Amino acid sequence: MSDATTAAGGVTLSLSEEAAEQVRRFFAAENLDEKSAALRVSVLPGGCSGFEYALEVDEDDPAEDDYVLESNGIRLFMDPFSGQYLSGVKIGYHSSFQGQGFTFENPNATGSCGCGTSFSV
């Protein structure tokens, strides 16, 4: 289902084929070069469960301490703070009549909210 990669420090992250295709579509719509753009995956304090997932397009070089991974042809950047909560996460994409969006399967989470965008550890 997904192509997990491991960064220095043993941090892993994977993006499903469906999620990677959605990122590619966004890159194309924004006229971004897939080889230089990346998806930044991070954790922010907040949400109803304590932490929120965040996805951003990053057109810059990774920060010196970033984890740099690649999954299904998409470069992924993750800062060390987020890495402690996101290692092992599988990012998918779901589309139905009720809505569409990225999903997060997080083995580190001890709880989550109904919307699926926040979690607790």
Residue 4, pLDDT score:
59
Residue 119 binned pLDDT confidence (cut-offs 50, 70, 90): very low
Render pLDDT for 74-96 as a digit per residue (tens, 0 to 9): 999 999 999 988 989 999 998 88
Domain 5-120 CATH superfamily: HesB-like domain (2.60.300.12)
Residue 2, pLDDT score:
45
Residue 116 clears pLDDT 70, i.e. is over it? no
Residue 47 clears pLDDT 70, i.e. is over it? no
Distances (CA, A) of 46 to 67, 105, 121: 23, 18, 13
User: Which of 68, 109, 73, 118 shows the shortest CA–CA distance to 89?
Assistant: 109
Residue 51 binned pLDDT confidence (cut-offs 50, 70, 90): confident
Residue 121 binned pLDDT confidence (cut-offs 50, 70, 90): low
How far is C-alpha 52 from the geometric centre of its chain's CA atoms? Answer: 12
Q: Calculate the average pLDDT of the chain.
A: 84
The full set of domain ranges for the chain reads 5-120
Residue 114 clears pLDDT 60, i.e. is over it? no
pTM above 0.85, yes or no: no
